[in-house]
Structure 1
Amino acid sequence: MIIETPSRLHVTLIDLNGAYGRIDGGVGITLQKPKLQVRAETLESGIEVVFSEKEKLESELMDDYTIKIKKAALKMVEHLKINEGFTFTVDKTYPSHSGLGSGTQLSLAAGKLISKMNDLDLTASEIASIVGRGGTSGIGVAAFDKGGFIVDGGHNKAEKPGFLPSSASHASPPPIIARHDFPEDWKIVLVIPNVEPGASGSKEVNIFQSNCPIPLGSVEKLTHVLLMKMLPAVVEADLDSFGSALNMVQDVGFKSIEHKLQNPRIKDIMNSLTEAGAAGVGMSSFGPTLYAVTDTYATDISRAAEEAMKDVGGKIIITKALNNGATLGE
């Protein structure tokens, strides 16, 4: 059995203050590419992970993918009391710890394959709870499930009283409070500079614990921008308003902290993308992936990105939104 899962942009976390009884919340966009593709076959025992294009991949990426797939698969096997093992073959990859959500997609992919191969039809949320994803943001789980433009409502503080990233939280995936198709005639230019990867592990935990709670006024401003500017812009396919809202989001709430922790080149590259005609420019999660939203200037923006990254190098991908989730095949 084979599964293809999308990548996603994490636009922002919403509420890391918690004054109104909930924390977290998130906004995200599902992408057509890059994608992950994983095949699974049964094995007498144990979990194996292999890569079909091993010679083209860095060892660090393969090690990271292997750990995440094995961890998720073992949790599924234990939870479902399965006696057989599995071999997972990874055919398509994208960078880990880059802000594109590979960890959640890999975990859910492994879980979904095991579920289907055992004649079960567990939901994405049920699998996420088993494999331990979605403890902070529900964007990756919803992108896997349905795609599109997603807003999740965060966690009740009775369930999750503290500020922690998904990798360190045992909370269930949060409820999706809004999901809309994202305009597919808008192009999204991904820019992944070769700078240090985004925060993960203990470093990410420390960032949450040392910077939260966020001031309430900042959270209130962010939610106002999201509810009364960004969401209507998506529904009405108003690119200028969406871009304006996206630019505003970069300077408020937890996103402003994520930006302060970046290599100075990130800000320079973002400015170059704006000057090249992008309606809006953002950084996904902790970066370093940047994205520019446009309708007609994708080529100009790509050239500007290439020029801005000439001293560090990087990858540029022109993509669009994906308005459906992961796909399964034989």
Structure 2
Amino acid sequence: MSKVKIKTPSRIHMSLIDLNGSLGRVDGGVGFALEEPNIKIECEEFDDVVVEGRDVSRFRSVAMKLSQIFGKGIKINVLSDYPSHVGLGSGTQISLSVASAFNEIYELGLSVREMAEITGRGGTSGIGVAVFELGGFVLDGGHSKKEKPYFMPSSFSKAKPPRVLARYDFPDWKVVVVVPNLKGFYGKREVNLFQKFCPIPVEDVRKLCHVILMKLLPSLVENDLDDFGEAVRMIQRLGFKKVEVDQYGDLIWGIMDQFDYPIGMSSTGPAVYTVIDTNAKSVGKELERYFEERGFKAHTYITRANNIGAEIFYS
């Protein structure tokens, strides 16, 4: 087997849908894939596990686990990655990219869903797994409470990845993503967030479902940027998304309220995003400046949606 190169998208996680569970299901989510930032690795068959390149610890951890499961070695060169715990889903993309490398090199015949189960991804949100496989905008159906009776973040859930209920190509809009030099909520802090605030009031869940069904999804299908932006703005103040934004106090609410264009926070943050059709560079500078004035350096990605998912190349 020659070398295999894998490139994954990142993702915007717009919101979890139902952390009330009164209908017998929990979680559910909406989000979309991004071209940048991304994970790129080049891999080949090897006797042991060797990982070279950028910030190798996360890749080595996944590779060691999979090496023990499959009884195979691998050599990985990390060509690009992006920070963990900022709301862009690097953990799932790293796990699936490394699993895909084993899968391709050793012809294991695993599906993306099977690789997600093996690596323990998708236990709450299915967006990261789905965009790796499909790209685009995704809505997943969450988990039955028979499988997942408790409210837990993905890193502490053993549930299987949820099924995709809807997937659409994302329009050719520009996406500005700004990541302040700040870590989001993860580990025990994220568990505490779920335990403290769940179940979310059912009325918030109903309002959120109304926005998703009658505003967000139609705006995608009809290529209506104004309605999409209005849906983004509405989502921030509903359900568990409002809980997530609240954890940053005035920092994230302030950026959402200060500018005319709609701004959302991805996952548990602190990455924020806006979807626009003009002036992307100046918007990125404005958002960077907002964080810098409050003591946080920030990095901006000006990108577009990824509508194809992960790519695999051979050399």
Match of 1:108 among 90, 93, 96: 96
Equivalent position of 1:2 in the other structure: 5
Q: Distance in 1 between matches of 2:249 and 2:51?
A: 33
Q: Distance in 1 between matches of 2:122 and 2:300?
A: 28
Equivalent position of 2:24 in the other structure: 21
Q: Distance in 2 between matches of 1:310 and 1:14?
A: 32
**2:11, 2:131 within 8 Å by CA — same for their partners in 1?**
yes
> Partner letter of residue 50 of structure 2?
E
1:123 counterpart = 2:123: no
Equivalent position of 1:73 in the other structure: 63
**1:75, 1:130 within 8 Å by CA — same for their partners in 2?**
no
> Partner letter of residue 253 of structure 2?
K
Q: Distance in 2 between matches of 1:142 and 1:197?
A: 24
How far does residue 317 in structure 1 lie from its aligned partner after superposition? Answer: 1.3
**1:6, 1:143 within 8 Å by CA — same for their partners in 2?**
yes
Q: Distance in 2 between matches of 1:35 and 1:256?
A: 27
Q: Distance in 2 between matches of 1:203 and 1:31?
A: 27
**1:31, 1:320 within 8 Å by CA — same for their partners in 2?**
yes
Q: Distance in 2 between matches of 1:167 and 1:329?
A: 30
3-state SS, counterpart of residue 274 of structure 2: strand
**1:30, 1:149 within 8 Å by CA — same for their partners in 2?**
yes
Residues 236-251 of structure 1 mapped to structure 2, 5 A cutoff? 236-251=222-237
- After TM superposition, the structure 1 stretch with the greater mean CA deviation from structure 2, 12-21 or 199-208, is 199-208
How far does residue 302 in structure 1 lie from its aligned partner after superposition? Answer: 1.8
3-state SS, counterpart of residue 288 of structure 1: coil
Q: Distance in 2 between matches of 1:211 and 1:321?
A: 32
Equivalent position of 2:47 in the other structure: 44
Q: Distance in 2 between matches of 1:20 and 1:74?
A: 40
TM-score for both structures, normalised by structure 1? 0.90
Q: Distance in 1 between matches of 2:249 and 2:205?
A: 25
> Partner letter of residue 57 of structure 2?
T
Q: Distance in 1 between matches of 2:119 and 2:63?
A: 8
**1:270, 1:290 within 8 Å by CA — same for their partners in 2?**
no
3-state SS, counterpart of residue 192 of structure 1: strand
3-state SS, counterpart of residue 234 of structure 2: helix
> Partner letter of residue 188 of structure 1?
V
3-state SS, counterpart of residue 104 of structure 1: helix
> Partner letter of residue 43 of structure 2?
A
3-state SS, counterpart of residue 257 of structure 2: helix
Equivalent position of 2:199 in the other structure: 213
Q: Distance in 2 between matches of 1:21 and 1:170?
A: 18
Q: Distance in 1 between matches of 2:30 and 2:110?
A: 24
3-state SS, counterpart of residue 167 of structure 1: helix
**2:112, 2:129 within 8 Å by CA — same for their partners in 1?**
yes
**2:246, 2:253 within 8 Å by CA — same for their partners in 1?**
no
> Partner letter of residue 51 of structure 2?
V
3-state SS, counterpart of residue 309 of structure 1: helix
Q: Distance in 2 between matches of 1:30 and 1:150?
A: 9
**Percentage identity across aligned positions?**
46
1:307 counterpart = 2:297: no
**1:134, 1:171 within 8 Å by CA — same for their partners in 2?**
yes
Which consecutive residues of structure 1, in runs of 5 or more, have no partner in the other structure?
55-61
> Partner letter of residue 180 of structure 1?
Y
How far does residue 198 in structure 1 lie from its aligned partner after superposition? Answer: 0.7
Equivalent position of 1:328 in the other structure: 312
Q: Aligned residues, how many? A: 309
Q: Distance in 1 between matches of 2:284 and 2:122?
A: 32
Equivalent position of 1:154 in the other structure: 142
Equivalent position of 1:178 in the other structure: 166
Equivalent position of 1:57 in the other structure: none
